[in-house]
Amino acid sequence: MRRNRRILLIAIVSALAVVGAIAIVLVYRWQQPRIRERIVAILSENLDSNVELGDVDVSLGLVVRVTAHGLVLRHREHPDAAPLIAVDRFSAEVPITALLRKPIHIAAVSVVGLHITIPPRHHEEHDAAGAGEQLQVPERSSLSGKLGRPTPVIVDRLTSDDAVLEIGLRKPGRPPRIFQIHRVLLTAAAFDRPTRFHAELTNPIPAGLIVADGTFGPWQPYEPALTKVEGSYTFNNADLSTIDGIGGHLDSTGRFTGRLEQISVKGETRTPDFTLDIGGEALPLNTTFTAIVDGTNGDTILDAVSATLGHTPIQARGGVVHMGAEKDRTVELDARIDNGRLEDILRLAMKDEPPAMFGGLHLETHLELPPGKGKVPLRLKLNGHFRVDAARFTSNTVRSKIDELSRRARGAPEDTSVANVASRLQGAFVLGGGVLSFSHVSFGVRGADIQMAGTYRLVPGTVDFAGTARLDAHVSEMVTGWKRLPLKIFDPLFSHDGAGTLLPISVTGPASKPNVKVEVGKIFHRGDPPKKKP
Position 177 in a domain: no
Number of independent structural domains in the chain: 1
- What does the pLDDT look like over 148-157, one tens digit per residue? 567 788 889 9
Asked if the model's pLDDT at residue 182 lies above 70, the reply is yes
Position 450 in a domain: yes
Position 167 in a domain: no
Instruction: From 422, 503, 441, 427, select the one nearest 470 (Cα to Cα).
Output: 503
Position 427 in a domain: yes
- What does the pLDDT look like over 6-58, one tens digit per residue? 555 555 545 444 444 444 544 454 455 567 787 888 888 777 788 888 888 88
- The pair phi, psi for residue 345, each rounded to 5°, is -65, -40
CA–chain centroid gap for 46, Å, is: 36
Sign of CA pseudo-dihedral 518, 524, 530, 534: negative
> Distance (Å, rounded) from C-alpha 243 to C-alpha 374?
10
Q: Are 136 and 126 in contact (CB under 8 A)?
A: yes
Q: Residue 157: what residue type?
A: R
Q: Which residues, in sequence order, are CB contacts of 89 under 8 Å at separation 6+?
A: 67, 68, 69, 70, 111, 112, 113
Position 504 in a domain: yes
Q: What stretches of 443-489 show up as alpha helix (H) in DSSP?
A: 484-487
Position 416 in a domain: yes
Return the DSSP state at 499.
B
- What does the pLDDT look like over 314-359, one tens digit per residue? 999 988 776 554 456 788 889 999 989 988 888 887 766 677 788 8
Q: Are 387 and 409 in contact (CB under 8 A)?
A: no
Number of residues that make up the chain:
534
> Distance (Å, rounded) from C-alpha 465 to C-alpha 486?
32
Per the model's pLDDT, the better-predicted residue between 172 and 57 turns out to be: 57
- The pair phi, psi for residue 446, each rounded to 5°, is -60, 120
Q: Are 324 and 371 in contact (CB under 8 A)?
A: yes
| Residues facing residue 384 across a β-bridge | 365, 429
Position 436 in a domain: yes
Q: Are 261 and 269 in contact (CB under 8 A)?
A: no
Q: Residue 519: what residue type?
A: E
Span of 162-176, 211-225, 265-279, 429-443 with lowest mean pLDDT: 162-176
Span of 114-118, 201-205, 380-384 with lowest mean pLDDT: 201-205
- What does the pLDDT look like over 494-520, one tens digit per residue? 888 888 888 888 889 887 677 888 877
Domain that holds residue 485: 395-522
Position 381 in a domain: no
| Residues facing residue 233 across a β-bridge | 212, 254
